[in-house]
Amino acid sequence: MRSSYLFYLRCLASLAMLAVIPAVLASDYTLEIFGNANMDDKIDEADVTHIEAIIASSTSPTPLSDANGDGEVDGSDIDQVQRIINGIMEQLIVMDEANRTVRIDMPVKSVVPLVDRDAKILGVLGATDLVVAVSDNIKDSKEYEATLPSLTDLESDGSWTEPDLEKLLRIEPDLLIAYSTSAENINNSIGNRVAVLGFASSTPHSTKDELLKLSYVLNKRERAERYFKEFHEKEP
């Protein structure tokens, strides 16, 4: 228990150094999850209101207003947004940083992170219990051996640049988190048996993007809010 808590604190500190998010970035960020009809940084009742306005023809559809991805903006999209707000959606449609539209069946019960930052973000979100395999760089990490040995005890799925796809299909996690430049090739190789999300290298934008999107995918929004409150919303 103590080692898990220490790992959580180290994850927070590590991500804080990776992602010192300027105020302008926070205001300009759009959460690219279908259902975010008003194109801000969260999905909430304001999106329901926005979709109602689209249905009433008082405003134009936005790229993310078709919450269920059926090609129309109607009452079923309001239902989907309400399910997202309540954390009971059966599927989530996410745009990743490789500009791919990824449909993820919910709930996600098993995850394979390939990049070290992915594992840290899962630690911040309190979701390391969902991890079923890791890449070599995580498994062989002295940092993880000391702070969260449960990750280093898991199966290796190859390197973050060349994962073992045969083993991945045997494990068949609900979600694979990959580097953005590899996501499409991995997805093409394994088909639709595993949802693949790709995220870019560590920048303030990409770190915030991954943390927020995964907080919706894994139903860990309160943990993400806690992170931003502790590190980015304190009075100077």
- Cα dihedral angle (37, 39, 44, 48), rounded to 10 degrees? -20
Tell me, yes or no, whether 102 and 207 share the same domain.
Answer: yes
Tell me, yes or no, whether 50 and 25 share the same domain.
Answer: no
- Cα dihedral angle (201, 202, 203, 204), rounded to 10 degrees? 140
Q: How many CA atoms lie within 13 A of 194 on its CB side?
A: 28
Tokens of 175: 């979600």
Q: What pLDDT, on the 0 to 100 scale, is given for residue 228?
A: 80
Per the structure, the count of domains in the chain is: 2
CB atoms within 10 A of CB 92: 26
**Which of these, 26, 96, 41, 38, lies nearest to 67 by C-alpha position?**
38
- 36 Cβ partners below 8 Å, 6+ apart? 30, 42, 43, 47, 64
Tell me, yes or no, whether 25 and 43 share the same domain.
Answer: no
Going from the C-alpha of 67 to that of each of 87, 100, 134, 203, the distances in angstroms are: 14, 16, 32, 28
Q: Which domain holds residue 77?
A: 31-89
Q: What pLDDT, on the 0 to 100 scale, is given for residue 150?
A: 83
Boundary of a domain, candidates 72, 89, 106: 89
CB atoms within 10 A of CB 17: 10
CB atoms within 10 A of CB 28: 10
Apex CA 203: angle with CA 190 and CA 130, to 5°?
45
CB atoms within 10 A of CB 175: 21
Length of the chain: 236
Tell me, yes or no, whether 210 and 165 share the same domain.
Answer: yes
Tokens of 209: 């993007």
Tell me, yes or no, whether 62 and 7 share the same domain.
Answer: no
Q: Using CA atoms, how far apart are residues 217 and 202, in angstroms rounded to an integer?
A: 20
- Cα dihedral angle (18, 24, 26, 29), rounded to 10 degrees? -100
Q: What pLDDT, on the 0 to 100 scale, is given for residue 11?
A: 56
Q: Using CA atoms, how far apart are residues 215 and 41, in angstroms rounded to an integer?
A: 12
In 50-99, DSSP assigns E strands to 91-95
Q: How many CA atoms lie within 13 A of 93 on its CB side?
A: 17
Q: Using CA atoms, how far apart are residues 14 and 154, in angstroms rounded to an integer?
A: 22
Q: What pLDDT, on the 0 to 100 scale, is given for residue 207?
A: 87
Q: Look up the CATH number of the domain holding residue 141.
A: 3.40.50.1980
Q: Look up the CATH number of the domain holding residue 37.
A: 1.10.1330.10
Tell me, yes or no, whether 78 and 182 share the same domain.
Answer: no
Boundary of a domain, candidates 68, 89, 110: 89
Per-residue pLDDT 10s for the chain (236 aa) are 444 455 555 555 555 444 444 443 455 899 999 999 999 999 999 999 999 999 999 999 999 999 999 999 999 999 999 999 999 999 999 999 999 999 999 999 999 999 988 988 998 899 999 999 999 988 988 887 777 788 889 999 999 889 999 999 999 999 999 999 999 999 999 988 999 999 997 777 888 899 999 999 999 999 998 888 776 555 44
Boundary of a domain, candidates 89, 112, 127: 89
Q: What pLDDT, on the 0 to 100 scale, is given for residue 136?
A: 92
